[in-house]
Chains A and B, each alone.
Chain A
Amino acid sequence: KNEVEQSPQNLTAQEGEFITINCSYSVGISALHWLQQHPGGGIVSLFMLSSGKKKHGRLIATINIQEKHSSLHITASHPRDSAVYICAVRSGGGADGLTFGKGTHLIIQP
């Protein structure tokens, strides 16, 4: 079973700062997801990665398959970025769902 570790667990930063959230996993995967959960609880999928790097607006996600590691970066952070960011992995084969990290609680102060 895949183990997914995220760091940091909590992060408070000032508006405008560059944010990095890390995710490592223990077993080879077919895909890695970065998800965003707002206080109301609903989850939005930000990225799905199997290799390389993806960018969407101020968000950048990278993955290193050999190192079993992924990072989520937020440039020019804003208070509306405050949320819980969750890393989840799908191991190769099967449709038995995702394995989730515990999440990183991000607060961006104005």
Chain B
Amino acid sequence: DGGITQSPKYLFRKEGQNVTLSCEQNLNHDAMYWYRQDPGQGLRLIYYSQIVNDFQKGDIAEGYSVSREKKESFPLTVTSAQKNPTAFYLCASSIPRQGEAFFGQGTRLTVV
């Protein structure tokens, strides 16, 4: 079955540590996205990538970094520079500029 896999589902980290969230898709989609969800707010775009080895900042990229070395994979690193990292993170993919968006199951990150 084609889809998007995010891991882990729950992640706990100490303040000041970097942490990397995994996102893998086998849908052969060129475009991949990372969103952040906070209570009472809509999802907000962190980074997106339309093609391998290229990515663009979204609305709230500060304190985050990404890489796109393979079409299937788009990992997100939450760095110690992110002031409020505790949130729910969702990865998505689609055919660029069109098509249905497919979402992963999300990773809930808690920084203590």
Interface residues of A (CB under 8 A from B): 4, 30-31, 33, 35, 40-45, 48, 86, 88, 90, 93-103
Contacts and interface: CB of A to CB of B under 8 A. Distances in A.
Contacts of B101: 33, 45, 48, 88, 98
A103 B105 CA distance: 17
B102 A45 contact: yes
Interface string B10-47: 00000000000000000000010101010011111100
A102 B42 contact: yes
Contacts of A90: 97
B107 to A, nearest CB: 9
A101 B41 CA distance: 8
A85 B42 CA distance: 11
A18 to B, nearest CB: 26
B54 to A, nearest CB: 11
A101 B48 contact: no
B48 to A, nearest CB: 5
B6 to A, nearest CB: 9
A3 B74 CA distance: 27
Contact of A97 (B58, B98, B102): B58
A103 B100 CA distance: 18
B108 interface: yes
A97 B100 contact: no
B104 A42 contact: yes
Nearest to A40: B105
A95 B92 CA distance: 12
